Structure 1
Amino acid sequence: MTSKILLINSSILGDNGQSRALAEHFKVRASAREGLVLTERDVAAQPLPHLDGQEVGSWMVPDEERDATQRELAARSEFLVDELLAHDVLVLAVPLYNLGIPSQLKAWFDRVLRAGKTFRYTENGPKGLVEGKRAIILAARGGQYAGTELDSQTPHLRHMLGLMGITEVDFVYSEGLNMGEGRREAALREAGQAIDSLVEAL
């Protein structure tokens, strides 16, 4: 049975980013596993513009009534939603910038978190429409934040994924990467071992 993986990179540092190193480790391990097919998207190298009112407005117009500009704007989100739905596992390689996610990754989430597409409103609140998928977060951080009040990134990611219905989420933390070479090497090694276990279970 083939499992399709969508890997999203979001480091503005390109190949020098620590989250990119975690993503590369994941790619190497996944490529060695039969039955895993990986698609990669780099939202920093190919950034999406920040969401604006004109683009949101294009979503509200029925397909057959859109003008050329509205079709182009709506297609941006619809392509990304379709790409997400076509995969079984979502892997996000996420650095920590100013206690949050990169704005480039937020721009991606702004296109795939679509009422009527990936979730819907009910009398009991929003209900996710993306079923049967799981997510893996590869989190790279210069300091140590996991489990503290400063880690606003973890609940933010969990809530955005949960809004779509993706509630099976595994986090791999590589922390203290700017706290000395020894700490950095140990953190990357531990994260690599955690990634190996997750890939083996896919």
Structure 2
Amino acid sequence: MNVLVVKANNRPDGISTKMYDTFMENVQGVDVTTFDVFAEDMPYFGQDLFNAFGKVQNGEALTDVESRLLAAKQKAMDALTAANVVVFAFPLWNLTIPAKLQTFIDYVFQAGYTFKYNENGQLEGLMGDKKVVILNARGGYYSSPEARPMEMSVNYIKNVVGMFGMEIIEEVIIEGHNASQDKAQEIIANGLEAVKKVAQSLQTVNA
């Protein structure tokens, strides 16, 4: 089984970084690849990419940034294609996901690759053979009914992978360690223990 871990935090002391580290230390019996969105060369999605598509069709020379965009997009797609299980390890930053993780999603969010439109114009996911694990950290409390609508990181990832047809099999969220600093160590420790159990259970997943 091939496991792709999309790491989306470059803070060494970040809690979602610790979740990533804990996962990597405890996963066994599977082939694991990390796609670190902060370490990869990932120019932002925009007109340069669409210019590149047009130039490729017309056989025209590409600029440096256009070449980099096409290479980065292909690398992200190749990594996703090879995976049976995709693990997203990411924080909630300013109510949403890090921009670099958004860029990864932009690269793979492509009609004919991750989804298609059927004859009725309805969207159908094309990645129903892949499973997803969500590892997320957020310093405040967003699980209450009042705060949940403001949380646009886990909710966004769930919507995206749902559109792709992927199945979420595990979810670990560490929250409240900044809001309740007197309980921070306990909150983090319990969360990391849950991550450890998820990592150890992956070798029993039927991909």
Q: TM-score range by the shorter chain?
A: 0.7 to 0.9
Tell me, in whole angstroms, the C-alpha distance in 2 between the residues paired with 1:87 and 1:176.
32
**1:44 corresponds to which letter in structure 2?**
F
Corresponding residue number in structure 2 for 1:87: 83
Corresponding residue number in structure 1 for 2:155: 155
Matched, 1:76 2:72: yes
Corresponding residue number in structure 2 for 1:190: 190
Query: How many residues were matched structurally?
Result: 196
Alpha-carbon RMSD: 2.2
Tell me, in whole angstroms, the C-alpha distance in 2 between the residues paired with 1:6 and 1:101.
18
From the superposition, tell whether residues 62 and 115 of structure 1 become closer, same or farther in structure 2 (CA, over 3 Å): farther
SS for the counterpart of 1:146 is coil
Corresponding residue number in structure 2 for 1:200: 200
Tell me, in whole angstroms, the C-alpha distance in 1 between the residues paired with 2:137 and 2:177.
8
SS for the counterpart of 2:75 is helix
**1:25 corresponds to which letter in structure 2?**
T
Deviation per CA, 1:38-79: give whole Å up to 9, x if none: 111221233522111120343466668464445553232122
Deviation per CA, 1:153-198: give whole Å up to 9, x if none: 2221111112222132432110112134442222222222322332
CA contact (8 A) 1:158 1:167 kept: no
| Identity over aligned pairs, percent | 26
Unaligned runs of 5+ in 2: 203-207
Tell me, in whole angstroms, the C-alpha distance in 2 between the residues paired with 1:64 and 1:184.
57
Matched, 1:36 2:10: no
TM-score, normalised by the number of residues in structure 1: 0.86
Corresponding residue number in structure 2 for 1:171: 171
Match of 1:26 among 12, 23, 28: 23
